[in-house]
Structure 1
Amino acid sequence: MDRDQFVAELTRRARALPGVTTVALFGSSTDQGAGRRDQWSDVDFAVFTTDAAADQVGREWAFLPDPEQIVLAAREYDSAGVVLYFDGSLAEFGAGRPWPVSDASCQVVFGGADVQLVPPPEPEDPANAIRLCLAKLAIGAGRARRGERLAASSLIRQQAPSALAWAVRGRLASADAEPANSFDPLRRFEVAYPELAERLDHALAAPVEQAARDLLVFSRDVLEPGWTEFPSRAADLIAERFGWTPPDASATRG
């Protein structure tokens, strides 16, 4: 089922359910996002209901098209879910009482009177983001030395790069014509900063402590020159503590 068929059937089924008030799409699922849509795009949507219908609609998911074609369904949090269809297509959604919508891409396809649009979250402060990045690298490297490699990997390969990406976005001009994602700074990072993205990908492919070291080198190489708020003293201390001194800047250049 392609996106248009999915949305049409979703809308038809939702309209037929008592208490459903709104169906809204987000991201590449919207008409405006069609240019970014490809075979790997999921359908991202929300189904709002009256208070009386919220529990049943959120429990049964009767609005989902072609339920007999669903091969996997999982719940996230109290009112969200994700389903995988037999043809490999995916849908992510929330269903229940209306919540404030901070995603500017929101496209209402049915109802909409209860959609409350609010401003998206402010971008992270780059100075705090780079401090957070270095802290996550230090914690992660310590856990790697202790032998907790999986916990270290989460810090070094997920939390630190996210903070680093916020710092980069706050300091360097983007090549992406699309606005940055307000919730995940790594989305479309390859479009915004193609050369930096390649270097980051190379760094993150290394063994876990080497990845931490390479991210520290990357942050200093890309962000430290000319930035008085860069935590240079902390970076020196981390490098010395883990024996990464002097850093080899070529490690992250591929």
Structure 2
Amino acid sequence: MAAPVRFDTLSAGLADAVRAHPDFAGIVLLGSASEDAADRRDEWSDHDFFAITREGRGPVVRPDLSWLPEQESIVLTAREGELGFVAVYDDGHVFEFAFSDASELAGALAGAATVMVDDEERTVARLLAESRARAAAADAFDPANDARLVLVKLLIGVGRARRGEVVNASDFVRGWAVRLLVRVVRGRHPGGSTSARDTIDATRRFEKDFPDWARRIEQALAQPVEEAARDLFDLLCELAPGWPEFPTRGADAVAERLGWTSTRAGTRHPSPSLPRAVS
């Protein structure tokens, strides 16, 4: 939530802190925090980064976050797993970062990024190159498989809701199923995805690439969990015509099991908004 000058000041403060710390190898700013994607920044942009420690020092220095800039303005810090951390400043600005040795980030993914500080062995540059290569390899859609998974998540989610586990059901429907449905749309209509697309998280900036699909998914999610699931099912089935790989038998079975006999996959028609989404 920082203004441009404030954002740059915090970036410089991070770089200075890492340079001054003997246990750090370097730092790389990610996403809109990087120079590569500075044009995407707005008032809600956070600082995402990897803070890389010298080999073997990560577990030792991780408990100490006193190196973060402007300590007096930090109102909270928290851990997300073993390597992930967050810090929030009194103006609402957020740092989200991995704080570890390079070897501990062996599975990391990265897209837009800027190396701010590196050591003499170019540890951070090498980590970034490997993370980008992994992200590029993972940046491939399998819409038929994702469609099958959407059906599974909806079936499980509605079952949980009917059992009374509404919170857990919502995670399956509003979380898993939606993320997979977005991947199906992008995979079926790759021409609709622009350069704004996040290669790591398919839901990021989906509204810019497929505004009509995004609007209809949002409308579905505004409903109670089972009604939301049924509308997401309908949206998925609208992709079936002209797609031989669509899991029609699976969709029919899910509809039958849930009593949604009026919304079988075979009765679906293309969405009137699809041409706009693909253009």
Match of 2:276 in 1: none
Q: Which residue of 1 aligns with 2:237?
A: 220
- Structure that is richer in helix per residue: 2
Query: What's the counterpart of residue 133 of structure 1?
Result: 150
Counterpart position of 1:230: 246
Q: Distance in 1 between matches of 2:149 and 2:141?
A: 11
Q: Distance in 1 between matches of 2:158 and 2:109?
A: 35
Of residues 31, 34, 56, the one that matches 1:30 is: 34
Q: Of 259, 270, 275, which residue of structure 2 is paired with 1:243?
A: 259
Distance 1:168 1:10, change over 3 A: same
- 1:39-188 matches, cutoff 5 A: 39-98=43-102, 99-100=105-106, 101-111=108-118, 113-115=122-124, 116=127, 117-118=129-130, 119=133, 120=135, 121-178=138-195, 180-188=197-205
Q: Which residue number in structure 2 is paired with residue 192 of structure 1? A: 209
Q: Is the 8 A contact 1:203 1:211 kept in 2?
A: yes
Q: Secondary structure at the match of 1:91?
A: strand
User: For 2:190 and 2:65, how far apart are their aligned partners in 1?
Assistant: 42
Tell me the distance in 2 between the aligned counterparts of 1:69 and 1:86.
Answer: 5
CA contact (8 A) 2:151 2:251 kept: yes
In structure 2, stretches of 5+ residues that fail to align are 274-279
Q: Which runs of 4+ in 1 moved over 2 A?
A: 99-102, 173-177, 179-183, 247-250
Mapped to 2, the partners of 1:67 and 1:249 lie a distance apart of 57
- Tell me the C-alpha RMSD between the 2 structures: 2.1
CA deviations 1:188-218 (Å, max 9, x no partner) are 1101101110001001111100001000000
AA in 2 matched with 1:96: S
Q: Distance in 1 between matches of 2:255 and 2:222?
A: 20
Length-normalised TM-score, structure 1: 0.92
* Residue aligning to 2:25: 21
Identity %: 39
Between the aligned partners of 2:96 and 2:205, the Cα distance in structure 1 is 19
* Unaligned 5+ runs, structure 1: none
